[in-house]
Amino acid sequence: MEYLVIKCGGSVIDEVPASFYQELCDIRASGKYMPIIVHGGGKLITSLLDQLKIPTVFVEGLRVTTDEMLDVIEMALSGYMNKSITRRILQAGGQAVGVSGIDGWLLEAQQADVNLGFVGNVKSVNDTWLKQLCDLNYIPVVSPLGMDESWQRYNINADTAAAAIAGKLKCPLVLMSDIPGIYEEINGEKQTIPTLTTVELDVLIDNGSITGGMIPKVNAVKDALNKDVKEVVIMDGRQKNGLTLYCNEEVIGTKLYIKEELLHV
Ligand SMILES: Nc1ncnc2c1ncn2[C@@H]1O[C@H](COP(=O)(O)OP(=O)(O)O)[C@@H](O)[C@H]1O
Ligand SMILES: CC(=O)N[C@@H](CCC(=O)OP(=O)(O)O)C(=O)O
Express each pLDDT in 104-138 by its tens digit: 999 999 999 999 999 999 999 999 999 999 999 99
Is pLDDT above 60 for 261?
A: no
SS3 of residue 84 by DSSP: helix
102 pocket-lining for ligand 2 (C-beta < 6 Å): no
pLDDT tens track for 9-66: 988 888 999 899 999 999 999 999 999 999 999 999 999 999 999 999 999 999 999 9
pLDDT band at 265 (very low <50, low <70, confident <90, very high): very low
- Our count of domains for the chain comes to 1
Residue 230 covered by a domain: yes
Question: Is there a domain that residue 119 lies in?
Answer: yes
Please report, for the domain that includes residue 29, its CATH number. Answer: 3.40.1160.10
Say whether 171 sits in a helix, a strand or coil.
coil
**Where in the sequence numbering do the catalytic residues fall?**
7, 10, 42, 159, 217
Does the residue 56 lie in any domain?
yes
Contact between residue 222 and residue 198 where contact means Cβ atoms under 8 Å apart: yes
Q: Give the model confidence (pLDDT) of 154-166 as tens digits.
A: 999 999 999 999 9
Q: Pick the residue whose CA is nearest to atom 17 on ligand 2.
A: 42
Q: Compute how many other C-beta atoms are within 10 angstroms of the C-beta atom of residue 167.
A: 21
Q: Could you tell me if 165 and 121 are in contact, meaning their C-beta atoms sit under 8 angstroms apart?
A: no
Q: Choose the residue to mutate in 155, 176, 179, 186 for probing ligand 1, maximizing ligand atoms within 8 Å of C-beta.
A: 179
Residue 264 lies in a domain: no
Burial class (CB in 10 A: 0-12, 13-18, 19+), 55: exposed
pTM of the model: 0.95
Spatial strand order of the sheet with 232-236 comes to 96-100, 139-143, 33-39, 2-8, 173-177, 232-236, 254-257, 195-197
Range of the domain at 75: 2-257
Q: Is the CB of 179 under 6 A from ligand 1?
A: yes
Among candidate residues 172, 179, 173, 174, the one with its CA nearest the CA of residue 239: 179
Mean pLDDT of 251-256: 94
Binding residues for substrate: 41-42, 63, 155
**Residue 263 is assigned to a structural domain of this protein:** no
pLDDT in tens, 136-191: 999 999 999 999 999 999 999 999 999 999 999 999 999 999 999 999 988 889 99
Residue 265 lies in a domain: no
Q: Examine the pLDDT at 260 and tell me if it is beyond 90.
A: no
Cross-sheet strand order for the sheet of 107-111: 120-125, 107-111, 145-147, 153-155
Q: Rounded to the nearest whole angstrom, what is the distance from the C-alpha of residue 62 to the centroid of ligand 1? A: 12
In a domain, 134, yes or no: yes
